[in-house]
Structure 1
Amino acid sequence: MLGADEAGKGPVLGPMVAGAVRADPAAIPEDVDDSKRLSPARREELDAVLRDDERVAVAVAVVSVDRIDDPATDMNSLTVAGQAEALAGVARDGDRAVVDAGDVSESRFANRVGDAVAAGNGVDDGGDSTDGDGQSVDVTAEHGADESYPVVAAASVIAKVKRDRIVAELDAAYRERGYDGIGSGYPSDPITREFLREYVSREGDLPECARTSWSTCDDVLAASEQSALEEF
């Protein structure tokens, strides 16, 4: 049984991360849940438990800000690609996968993910390419699958922990440059908004970790041009 989910679809800073888990159902901890419902400490514990169990295979795919900002694509397609790349890192021919639907049409999303897995463009958990002939996987997509299927909840934990670690590394790097941290990376986070305001004020441009195609970035640049950053 395989599950896949993603974390970080909506932030203005940092990548989106997709996670996939292939596991004996008995290997999934009983208290696994949608990652948003778990504390950071519990997510870290579950991530370690899953990775340390030989009955569990884990893979992640990191969708960079450059891919997100590419005008030739869109978030639905990138969600398909991310989940498929993660699944392809652990899938075997004939597996059944349940994924969290990233499209209003569950069946369309499932078909797109299945086709992409069959293309074989995956990555393993070390970030190495697993390109090949692909695997034939029966994919079902459901909205809220991370609330209904433990294996999808497990994948959501894997994805969230990986993204949180990436954001923590970015935060540390910008603190070394004299900033007060980047926050969660979400547009609603006042720390994130203050970081963007201060960065543009200092540098005159957006940081490399920003999704420049997001409206939040347009707003901060417009405020800079109007000398109104304090109102951003």
Structure 2
Amino acid sequence: MTLRVAGVDEAGRGPLAGPVVVAAVILDPARPIAGLDDSKRLSAARRTALVPRIEATALAWRVEFVSVAEIDARNILHATLDGMRRALAALRPPPQHALVDGDRVPDGLACAATAVVGGDASEPAIMAASILAKVARDRHMQALHRRYPQYGFDRHMGYPTPEHRAALLRHGPCPEHRRSFAPVRAALAARG
């Protein structure tokens, strides 16, 4: 019997706004998916095209959104690890091992886990998780853009680009900005 191995990755640790999104995927060894890669190395169109293939062929998958409130309450690292823990716990069938992109594994998992630095470029299950997380987060940021068009979320996805920083200073933070992040705190302070 083949071990059920889940790949885990996140999207959105660095932005000033929006959730961090975590995905966990158990690929079916009998149904490999051609074209998987680190989500950052794929075009938006290619990532979007891969999502339904991953969802249809994986043994299990889960996408978890970790809210701005949770990020601000726990800090970005702990909020991300919490999201990873929840994503893995929700997989059915459950994983027997997890490969987590990065240098840290969440505590309290129900299975063994290994941190894999650069795993989103080397492990297919992590690649699949990377794609699901990135596409889900980008779609969420597009929806936030419709609510808060003055920030340009559709272009920078909440990352601290010069355009975003200027809009933050001009308009102040919206409810989706991470107040625990220094540039957001500075924009609040500048507005008095």
Correspondence 1:164 to 2:138? yes
1:184 aligns with 2:157: yes
SS in 1 for 2:148: helix
- Does residue 1:38 correspond to 2:42, yes or no? yes
SS at match of 1:12: coil
Residue 168 of structure 2 is matched in structure 1 by: 196
Judge which range, 41-50 or 73-82, deviates more: 73-82
Distance 1:96 1:169, change over 3 A: same
Partner SS for 1:27: coil
Opposite residue 27 of structure 2, the aligned amino acid is A
Q: CA deviation at 1:79?
A: 2.0
The 1:212/1:38 distance shift into structure 2, 3 A limit, reads same
- With over 3 angstroms needed to count, the CA separation of the structure-2 counterparts of 1:18 and 1:35, relative to structure 1, is same
Where does residue 154 of structure 1 map in the other structure? 128
Q: Does the CA-based 8 Å contact 2:151-2:168 persist in structure 1?
A: no
The question of 1:210 aligning with 2:177 is answered: yes
TM-score, reference length from structure 1: 0.74
Aligned identity (percent) is: 38
Report the equivalent of 2:118. 144
| Contact persistence 1:27–1:56 (CA under 8 A) | no
One of 40, 50, 56 as aligned partner of 2:59: 56
Q: 1:28 to 1:4 in 2, by over 3 A?
A: farther
Displacement after TM superposition at 1:181 (Å): 2.6
Contact 2:22 2:83 in 1 (8 A): yes
What does 1:34-113 correspond to in 2, within 5 Å? 34-53=38-57, 55-70=58-73, 73-90=74-91, 92=93, 95-101=96-102, 106=103, 109-110=104-105, 112-113=106-107
Shift of 1:195: 2.6
1:63–1:78 Cα contact (<8 Å) kept? yes
* Count of equivalent residues: 186
Q: State the superposition RMSD in angstroms.
A: 1.8
Q: Secondary structure at the match of 1:158?
A: helix
Contact 2:8 2:84 in 1 (8 A): yes
The structure with more radius of gyration: 1
CA contact (8 A) 1:16 1:163 kept: yes
Is the 8 Å Cα contact of residues 17 and 163 (structure 1) preserved in structure 2?
A: yes
* Runs of 5+ unmatched residues, structure 1: 119-136, 201-205, 226-232
**Cα pair distance change 1:6/1:28, threshold 3 Å:** farther
Structure 2 residue aligned with 1:23: 27
Q: Whole-Å Cα distance in 1 between the matches of residues 39 and 46 of structure 2?
A: 9
Deviations 1:62-113 (A, max 9, x none): 110001111xx23322222111111111154561211112xxxx4xx33x34
Query: Could you say what secondary structure the match of 1:4 adopts?
Result: strand
Partner of residue 12, structure 1:
16
CA shift, 1:191, in A, is 2.8
**Greater relative contact order structure (CA < 8 Å, 6+ sep):** 2
**Higher mean Cα deviation, 18-27 or 154-163?**
18-27
